[in-house]
Amino acid sequence: MSKRAIIVLKILVHILCLAPFAWLLHFYTSGALALNPDPVNYITHFTGNWTLYILLACLAITPIRRISPKIAWLVRFRRLIGLYAFFYATLHLATYVFLFSGYDITAAITSLRAGHPGGLITEWQQIWPGILDDLAKRRFIQVGLLAWFILFLLAITSPAFIMRAMGGRNWRWLHSLIYVAAIAGVIHFWWLVKPGVLTPWKDTAVLAILLAARIGYAAWKKYRKPRPVPAAVAR
């Protein structure tokens, strides 16, 4: 595929990945979000859902590109899509920290404009005990934070110069943890919803298929690997 085509496709990927965020901003600025019975809960689920959608899309690139050498160029978009998964995961976490936990953004901004940046820290100090309490009591927050932390590590180690510094083997091992992040994300979803709610089953099914594809490919690759021919026994 030509370099120009890759650039065009990357622009398209940017547009597609930013579209949900742009729609959410429009939903907010138009006043429609305020009409929702629970705006914070809506934002929480919206950002969480898109984190999983984009993360699963990122994981799907590898098995799809293995179908034919002609589509091997798909791997060029894996890092970009993975970074967008981290972007939405961070929005999801920020929704909890700055909206759900009671952080007074208005007071913090007012304090900052008045030349008192310490107000930002003051607001944080007020919500920090509650966040720690939630983290200790709610297992869905624990596993969700684990997923975010893994994506954070993958995001900061995504540049090529860091890969060279880490060494290819170590870098590949670290980035294989994206599957752990996806599993943790799906578990986070299941533990978040009420008992009997089956909304996460679609994400779970897609992830199960992707994991099966990875395991199946690894087994097939190991099976077809030529075995060493034993040396002839001397007579």
The pLDDT score that the predictor gives to residue 222 is: 82
Q: Which residues of the chain have pLDDT under 50?
A: 233-235
In a domain, 52, yes or no: yes
In a domain, 147, yes or no: yes
The pLDDT score that the predictor gives to residue 114 is: 84
In a domain, 99, yes or no: yes
The pLDDT score that the predictor gives to residue 224 is: 78
Phi, psi of 16, deg, nearest 5? -65, -40
* Per-residue DSSP letter, 67: S
In a domain, 131, yes or no: yes
Please classify residue 158 by burial: count the beta carbons closer than 10 Å to its beta carbon, then call 0-12 exposed, 13-18 middle and 19+ buried.
middle
Tens of pLDDT, residue by residue over 87-131, are 999 999 999 998 888 887 777 788 888 887 887 788 788 888 889
The pLDDT score that the predictor gives to residue 82 is: 97
Tens of pLDDT, residue by residue over 197-212, are 999 999 999 999 999 9
DSSP track, 141-208: HHHHHHHHHHHHHHHHT-SHHHHHHH-HHHHHHHHTTHHHHHHHHHHHHHHHSPTT--TTHHHHHHHH
In a domain, 61, yes or no: yes
Residue 64 domain boundaries: 38-221
What distance in Å separates the CA atoms of residue 183 and residue 43, rounded to the nearest whole number? 22
Under 8 Å between Cβ of 150 and 178: yes
The pLDDT score that the predictor gives to residue 230 is: 58
Q: Total domain count for the chain?
A: 1
In a domain, 31, yes or no: no
- The pTM (predicted TM-score) of the whole model is 0.89
What distance in Å separates the CA atoms of residue 141 and residue 65, rounded to the nearest whole number? 34
In a domain, 19, yes or no: no
Taking Cα atoms as reference points, which of 134, 139, 153 lies closest to residue 190?
Answer: 139
In a domain, 199, yes or no: yes
